[in-house]
Amino acid sequence: MSKRYPTELRERAVRLVQQTRSDYSSTSAAVKAVAAKLGVGTESLRVWVRQADVDTGARPGTTTAEQARIKELERENRELKRANDILKAAASFFAAEIDRPHRRS
């Protein structure tokens, strides 16, 4: 999510679009009008409204909570793969040590 606009402004803009949607011929027209009034980018507001619709169940898609969970799982997966690679390298190193003939003094 973009940090260009404060969270409060994003939430207010989405609420305004949702409240005034019926006053306009389309959601797009409402988005353009609210974006102009609040001085935010039309495309940014459109994305925020779409995500809010997904989060409320009005539109199919991946909710914000699901996106955060997926991101966390992907991060965990990367960490586990990295740990697995380290363990594989260590195992092959120690296996090679065992196979090497040792000289005793």
| Residue 90 domain boundaries | 64-100
Q: Which DSSP category does 59 fall into? A: S
Q: Is residue 31 located within the same domain as residue 71? A: no
Q: Is residue 53 located within the same domain as residue 3? A: yes
Cα separation, 22 vs 30, in Å, equals: 8
Residue 100, pLDDT above cutoff 70: yes
Residue 63, pLDDT above cutoff 70: yes
Q: Is residue 52 located within the same domain as residue 7? A: yes
What pLDDT was estimated at residue 104?
67
Task: Specify whether the CB–CB gap between 54 and 63 falls below 8 A.
Answer: yes
Q: Determine, yes or no, domain membership for 105.
A: no
Q: Is residue 3 located within the same domain as residue 19? A: yes
Residue 2, pLDDT above cutoff 70: no
How many domains does the chain fold into? 2
Q: What is the pTM of this model?
A: 0.71
**Share above pLDDT 90 across residues of the chain, in percent, rounded to a whole number:** 84
Q: Is residue 84 located within the same domain as residue 56? A: no
Task: Specify whether the CB–CB gap between 37 and 23 falls below 8 A.
Answer: no
Q: Is residue 10 located within the same domain as residue 27? A: yes
